[in-house]
Amino acid sequence: METNPPPENERLDATERMLSFAEGVKDTGAGAKAAKAVSPLPELRRLFATALTEFRSEPIRLQRRMLRIISDAQMTAGDYQDAIATASAIEEPEHREVQLRRIVAKLADRCEFDLALKTVGRLQDRDRSLCDIAYNMAKVGEVERAYLLSEDWNGDIRDVVLAGIVSFLFDNGRAAEGSHYIPEISRGSSRLNALKDQAIGFANESKPDEAIRIAESIELDLDRLRLLLRIAATTGSTEALKRAEAYFATPVGEMLLSSSGYYLGYDLTRAYIKSRSVDKIYILHQKYPQAVPRYEVAHSLHELGLRDELFAVEYAEVEKYHATGGIWDSDAPEDSDKYRSHAIRHCKRKADYATARSLAREIQSGQWRFSEQSSLFTETAKEQGIEAAYPYFGDAFETAKRLEHPRHRADALAELIWLFGRHGLSKLFDGADAWRTGTDKADSVQ
């Protein structure tokens, strides 16, 4: 079972003391010599070797390649080719697909379309990657090229590429242009998603009548209802809200609201907030408490500038999240890790790293906690210098070695090794380059 790192005021044990770089350097003032004395390299290498023993198909070289591809802004064409070859050599099919998709997404984001398209050929499931490429082509003004790309494929894959084009156009206030491509998308989820994008695009352009017409053309009740409610919440359209309410008054509508739980309730309260119908929010809560729970009522009151002492506890939580930059959306607040993550980003923008560190320690998901803690180490090192960042490295290390899944543990420990080099820590430690070559010289660090 994963546990959080110990509180600051607890005495550090031997392992944790090795991680307390800042304290070691401060106490002795001996610079690099003192840093070597408290180096966690042997412990880190031992744990990483153990993790790799449990998951042998991921050597250090592969891990470092994959970490670079998703974070290094200076990747050259040769680096990409090397990373693609390394990822393609991964034996486990699922892991190979994940790494190749990451590379394609990064290539598309950096407009390296030719190489991205060549790499797509190595994937078993190409849909999402092709959609990413088409979206990014449209993003840089190459709509025609993206459309020509769609003509290279048939059936579902062509629909996915077209959906990537229209998604960008609707996201960026070009609903009329995006609508031109809709008739060519003929199948399944791609057409459904394109129609949703089209309706929201018109809603964002304050054209509720057009948006409602599209929403009503969707056959699936749940998708149609949620779309009507989003239109009402975006535009304040009483017509969209009236149509949704009429459906909820039917037995099937009541069943959907009862069984679909939070998501429909959330959409409905968003629409009522827009129309300032607080009495209807109370009624929903009373009739469907599982769909509109107490915290949702409190959030609605907060957005409307109202208070109710009956919801004082929940209201205080809402204020707390808003004060730390928390963002409320369609995910249930039981997913508290997401809200802590939002709050951490807010604290980073204010350079309040101490509060961000405290919030990161509260994250329940081990992988998510590690991600936030390693990010804090990186950002603090950049903004305040490497010595100020040492405690954040210690947090990430403690979380990494407690991850239960062998691959997750190997990934996390490999990232920490890579961070040593990225932030210049290799200059402080004899034998640090051994981490890159896989030799045993680093074991000589005392």
Domain presence at residue 102: no
The larger pLDDT score, comparing residue 14 to residue 72, is at 72
For residue 215, CA distances in Å to 220, 363, 420 come to 10, 38, 52
Report the percent of the chain where pLDDT is more than 90.
12
pLDDT at 334 exceeding the cut of 90: no
Is residue 325 pLDDT above 60, yes or no? no
Band the pLDDT of 42: cuts 50, 70, 90: low
Specify if 130 maps to a domain: no
More confidently predicted of 112 and 74: 112
- pLDDT value at 63 more than 60: no
In a domain, 254, yes or no: no
Chain CA centroid to CA 200, Å: 23
Q: Is residue 390 part of a domain?
A: yes
Residue 288 maps to a domain: no
- Please check whether residue 419 lies inside any domain of the structure: no
pLDDT of 244 reads 92
Are 370 and 400 in contact by the 8 Å Cβ rule? The answer is yes
H helical segments located in 217-365: 221-235, 238-248, 251-260, 262-274, 278-287, 294-303, 312-323, 336-349, 353-362
Q: Are 359 and 348 in contact (CB under 8 A)?
A: no
Q: Is residue 291 part of a domain?
A: no
* Residues 313 and 293 sit within 8 Å (Cβ to Cβ): no
Q: Are 443 and 41 in contact (CB under 8 A)?
A: no
Q: Establish if 391 belongs to a structural domain.
A: yes
Backbone angles phi, psi at 429, to 5 degrees: -120, 125
Residue numbers of the domain that contains 383: 340-402
pLDDT > 70 in the chain, percent: 71
Residue from 18, 1, 4 nearest 372 by CA: 4
- Supply the pTM of this predicted model: 0.55
Number of domains comprising the chain: 1
For residues 285 and 299, the answer to whether their CB atoms sit within 8 Å is no
Q: What is the C-alpha radius of gyration for the chain, rounded to an integer number of angstroms?
A: 26
Of 24-28, 247-251, 391-395, least confident by mean pLDDT is 24-28
pLDDT of residue 48: 54
- For the cut 60, the answer to whether the pLDDT of residue 55 exceeds it is no
Residue 195: exposure state from Cβ atoms within 10 A (0-12, 13-18, ≥19): buried
Q: What is the tens place of the pLDDT at every residue in 348-376?
A: 877 888 888 988 988 888 888 998 998 89
